[in-house]
Amino acid sequence: MLRRTGISIWLAAVCWLAIAVSMDTHAADGDAAVQRALQTAISRPAPAQVDASAVEALSFRRDPAVSARVQQETIQAFGRNPQQAADLEKVIGSGEMLGEFDKILRRYGYDPTNLGDVLAAHLLISWEVVNDRDSRQSPDGQRAVRRQLIGPLAAIPEVAAMSDAAKQAQAERTAYLTMVSALTYQTMKRDGNRQGLQSLSAGVRQGLQGNGVDLQRVSLGDGGLVAR
């Protein structure tokens, strides 16, 4: 899924609950159009290609000021005491965590400065966590998930109209949540923490169910993530 970073073990131990809560909140407040787009995306295999205008509609230029703001928001959200905040500053404030996320996306053939690609990676990594599977067994499927999402997302007027700053902020918040989920999964799996893995899987699954996607009822194949 991803290489281990310098993040300390406490983060993996305490943050998975925060992920589940954040995802549930997003689902409760989420736009119904986005929910429909996600459901449409996984209802059928990915198209052979996506329209260039759809890709462009979801792309953004990174602004260092936006990245700095999202970094501090994330540190404040997850840092439960001064030591935790200092540890988070090392891996988030340094850019290490976002840099690692970018590397993962590029290995998938995704663009980290495209909101559709970031959300596709979030969906794919969440599927891995929920089902205890490794998507590297299906490289064609990895590449297909972005093609599933980009068209339906770009077709939502509110999404297509987002500013670069808004797309970047949403993408980077999603990146941090995805990375913390993945790191938590890796740490618990390495430690043989079956109970923790079950709780993490349930929390991530519940978050996506709020958006109408049950990742336990989705299979990864050459056409991407398709509901069974």
pLDDT score recorded for residue 46: 95
Cβ neighbours of 52 (radius 10 Å): 8
pLDDT above 70 for 23? no
pLDDT score recorded for residue 31: 60
Higher pLDDT, 84 or 150: 150
Two structure tokens written together for 210: 């709020």
* b/e burial code for range 178-212 (CB count within 10 A of at least 16 → b): bbbbbbbbbbbbeeebeebbeebbebbbebbbbbb
Q: How far is CA 181 from the centre of its chain?
A: 9
pLDDT score recorded for residue 121: 95
Higher pLDDT, 34 or 216: 216
pLDDT score recorded for residue 37: 87
pLDDT above 70 for 21? no
pLDDT score recorded for residue 22: 41
Distance CA 14, CA 27 (A): 22
pLDDT score recorded for residue 124: 95
Q: Mean pLDDT of all residues in the chain?
A: 84
Q: Which residues contact 187 (CB under 8 A, 6 or more apart)?
A: 9, 12, 13, 193
pLDDT tens for each residue of 162-185: 999 999 999 999 999 898 888 889
Nearest alpha-carbon partner for 116 in 52, 48, 182: 52
Distance CA 112, CA 102 (A): 6
* C-alpha distance from residue 64 to each of 60, 69, 74, 90, 91 (Å): 13, 9, 15, 17, 16
> Domain ranges in the chain?
9-227
Distance CA 179, CA 173 (A): 10
Distance CA 159, CA 116 (A): 10
What phi and psi, each to the nearest 5 degrees, are found at residue 162? Answer: -60, 145
Place of tokens 């899924």: 1
Distance CA 192, CA 196 (A): 9
Mean pLDDT score, 115-131: 95
Determine if the pTM surpasses 0.95.
no
